[in-house]
Amino acid sequence: MRSFKLPLTFKLPRTAALAALVVAVPFAGAYAASAGFYTPRTAGLIDQAQSVDQGITAARQMDKIKPAEARDLHRQAVRISRVAQREAAAGHGAIPSEQYQQLVAQLDDVSQSLRNATGSSPLIGDGADGGYYPNG
């Protein structure tokens, strides 16, 4: 039985690595373009907007808010997320500080509206005067 020995100057590993790189680079570029590169602050804002939207969906499914209310809150949350994504794309992944603060405030308003609509706002008061009262 003969054994097969590769010469010392065998270049297949380098060729295979180069071929793999040539094949992988276009796919990596396509993935990066679709996923977007965001700063951590921007990614957090977009994730938070999506979380609020999921809360809206859950509240609607549990009949805690009316369909019209859910549509309005959903529309606001999606608009905030889209504006954040558009601004981040224009700013190479970052949102200007002033615009970021505005978007965070708007998202906080949507979140507070959801809490108020579902009755899950934090309550104030100690109950000494007969009850607790919604804060908001």
Name the nearest CA neighbour of 81 among 42, 43, 46.
46
Which tens digits make up the pLDDT trace of 22-74?
555 444 443 443 456 889 999 999 999 999 999 999 999 999 999 999 999 99
Residue 124 confidence (pLDDT) above 70 = no
Q: Record the tokens describing residue 118, joined without a space.
A: 């579902």
Domain ranges of the chain: 38-115
Residue 15 confidence (pLDDT) above 90 = no
Q: How far is the C-alpha of 113 from the C-alpha of 104, rounded, in Å?
A: 14
Name the more confident of 4 and 75: 75
